Amino acid sequence: MDDRTKAIQALTAQRWRVSLMLSGAMMFIYFGFILLIAFNKPLLGSQIIPGLSLGILLGALVIVSAWILIFIYVRWANNNYDDKIARLTRK
């Protein structure tokens, strides 16, 4: 195996690690919210301000956290992965 192939494999492994970490974070957030729904409905039904319950707020934060994690991945890919792949495939 030449150096370029090893570098591409290392970069691919790094991409998988980043993807799995971000996917794990999203699963933790989502399933944590689902478990709160399943086991602590009264907490989620409590009103923060009139017309806004904790459950609605946390549900919105689950969606926002997905956007943030996607932004983190895209930023990582643009700043690290894409440049390195372009350099490796040009040679």
Using a cut of 0.75, tell me whether the model's pTM lies above it: yes
pLDDT in tens, the chain (91 residues): 788 889 889 999 999 999 999 999 999 999 999 999 999 999 999 999 999 999 999 999 999 999 999 999 999 999 999 888 888 888 6
State how far the Cα of 46 lies from the Cα of 24, in Å rounded to an integer: 28
Range of the domain at 61: 3-90
48 exposed, middle or buried (CB, 10 Å; 0-12, 13-18, 19+)?
exposed
What pLDDT, on a 0 to 100 scale, did the predictor assign at position 91?
A: 61
Rounded to 10 deg, the angle between the 82-90 and 3-39 helix axes is 160
- Provide the domain count of the chain: 1
